[in-house]
């Protein structure tokens, strides 16, 4: 079984060479969104002067998520202090001073959109001593006041290994602490040059040590030249640090300036990773070509019912 999956994937990679800059396979085509609903979400975001990673990172699921009234809010941005060659978020602009009104505006948006589950993420803010931890806390606290029944997921940067800052975020008690692994160790220097694979694993491990009730989550993107064995090793490493939830999705090149896609991974391979991940002990594995770290994140509410802490 394993050999057949490997063979199929390498065949796909050979075919992908001609498709990288021309066309995507059928399974990566998305349905047209309900633009009226999308417009309503955009109106709220513009009215409250908020950013979403859906827009800033050119997420392919923006139509589906916006049409369902969900969004992943991007705080402290949109300018990032790192220049990851896979990411479409702006790194050329100078980061702005933190806006003290942002937490209240974010909480108001969550209330207006009547969200059951909200994801808060941020650009990297290596220019700040705490990496932006205090702003995360203020946003969580504001949402708790405005929408106390809404569950909260924070998708955080690595904070440059500032574990005090991590502990500060966890004192606000988000239900889910998400930090993306992004890729396999061999590709870190090329894909995530300012990141550190051991530091990513340590952040997830410490999150569970600091706050055992939190659900930990991480995600990787594939299609950058990794092997199946390397993906399995990352999955194993994440389970070793007690990561609960894993997302795996296809990398898509945002612009010609970014890293090129090396292969389009088949839906069958994504399904195989899901099965392997669940056998390893992940509480949930979301694995498909269009999966992103916040895709269908609201499903964590049912997971929390099945596996209460």
Residues 20 and 41 in one domain: no
Residues 265 and 220 in one domain: yes
pLDDT on residue 89: 77
Q: Is residue 138 part of a domain?
A: yes
Q: What is the helix, strand, coil percentage profile of the chain, to 5?
A: 45, 15, 45
Q: At what angle do helices 228-240 and 197-210 cross, to 10 degrees?
A: 30
Residues 6+ apart with CB under 8 A from 78: 51, 56, 89, 90, 93, 123
**How would you list the strands of the sheet with 72-75, edge to edge?**
51-52, 72-75, 117-122, 151-155, 176-178, 215-222, 245-250, 284-287
Tell me the C-alpha distance between 283 and 131, whole Å.
29
Residues 222 and 129 in one domain: no
pLDDT on residue 38: 53
Q: Is residue 134 part of a domain?
A: yes
Tell me the C-alpha distance between 269 and 220, whole Å.
14
Q: At what angle do helices 133-146 and 102-113 cross, to 10 degrees?
A: 40
Q: Is residue 208 part of a domain?
A: no
Residues 106 and 79 in one domain: yes
Domain containing residue 125 = 31-174
Q: Is residue 197 part of a domain?
A: no
Looking at 118, 147, 174, the residue that finishes a domain is: 174
Contact 128, 157 (CB under 8 A): no
Residues 277 and 157 in one domain: no
236-284, pLDDT tens digit by residue?
999 999 999 999 999 999 889 999 999 999 999 999 999 999 999 999 9
Q: Is residue 198 part of a domain?
A: no
Residues 244 and 147 in one domain: no
Residue ranges in the chain whose pLDDT is less than 70:
1-23, 30-39, 52-71
Tell me the C-alpha distance between 27 and 168, whole Å.
41
Residues 133 and 187 in one domain: no
Looking at 174, 200, 228, the residue that finishes a domain is: 174
Q: Is residue 306 part of a domain?
A: no
Map tokens 């890729």 to a residue.
183
Which region, left, alpha or beta, applies to residue 282 given φ > 0 means left and ψ of -120 to 50 means alpha?
Answer: beta
Contact 215, 303 (CB under 8 A): yes
Residues 267 and 185 in one domain: yes
Total domain count for the chain?
Answer: 2
Q: Tell which residue, 142, 141, 153, 212, has the closest CA to residue 180.
A: 153
Residues 36 and 114 in one domain: yes
pTM assigned to the model: 0.86
Q: Is residue 185 part of a domain?
A: yes
pLDDT on residue 57: 44
pLDDT on residue 300: 87
């Amino acid at each position: 079984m394993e050999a057949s999956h490997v063979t199929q994937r390498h065949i796909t990679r050979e075919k992908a060479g001609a498709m990288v800059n021309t066309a995507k396979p059928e399974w990566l085509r998305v349905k047209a969104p309900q633009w009226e609903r999308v417009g309503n979400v955009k109106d709220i975001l513009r009215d409250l002067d908020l950013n979403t990673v859906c827009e800033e990172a050119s997420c392919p699921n923006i139509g589906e998520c916006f049409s369902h009234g969900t969004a992943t809010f991007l705080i402290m941005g949109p300018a990032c202090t790192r220049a990851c060659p896979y990411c479409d978020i702006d790194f050329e602009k100078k980061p702005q001073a933190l806006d003290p009104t942002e937490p209240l505006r974010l909480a108001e948006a969550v209330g207006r959109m009547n969200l059951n589950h909200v994801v808060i993420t941020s650009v990297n803010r290596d220019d700040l001593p705490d990496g932006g931890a205090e702003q995360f806390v203020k946003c969580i606290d504001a949402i708790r006041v405005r929408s106390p029944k809404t569950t909260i997921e924070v998708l955080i940067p690595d904070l440059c290994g500032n574990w005090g800052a991590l502990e500060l975020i966890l004192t606000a008690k988000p239900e889910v602490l998400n930090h993306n692994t992004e890729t396999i160790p061999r590709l870190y220097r090329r894909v995530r040059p300012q990141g550190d694979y051991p530091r990513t694993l340590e952040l997830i491990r410490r999150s569970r040590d600091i706050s055992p009730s939190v659900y930990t989550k991480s995600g990787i993107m594939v299609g950058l030249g990794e092997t199946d064995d390397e993906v399995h090793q990352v999955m194993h490493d994440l389970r070793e640090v007690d990561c609960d939830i894993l997302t795996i999705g296809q990398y898509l090149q945002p612009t010609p300036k970014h890293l090129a896609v090396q292969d389009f991974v088949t839906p069958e391979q994504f399904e195989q990773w899901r099965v392997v991940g669940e056998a390893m002990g992940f509480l949930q594995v979301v694995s498909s070509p269009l999966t992103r770290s916040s895709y269908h994140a609201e499903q964590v509410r049912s997971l929390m019912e099945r596996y209460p802490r």
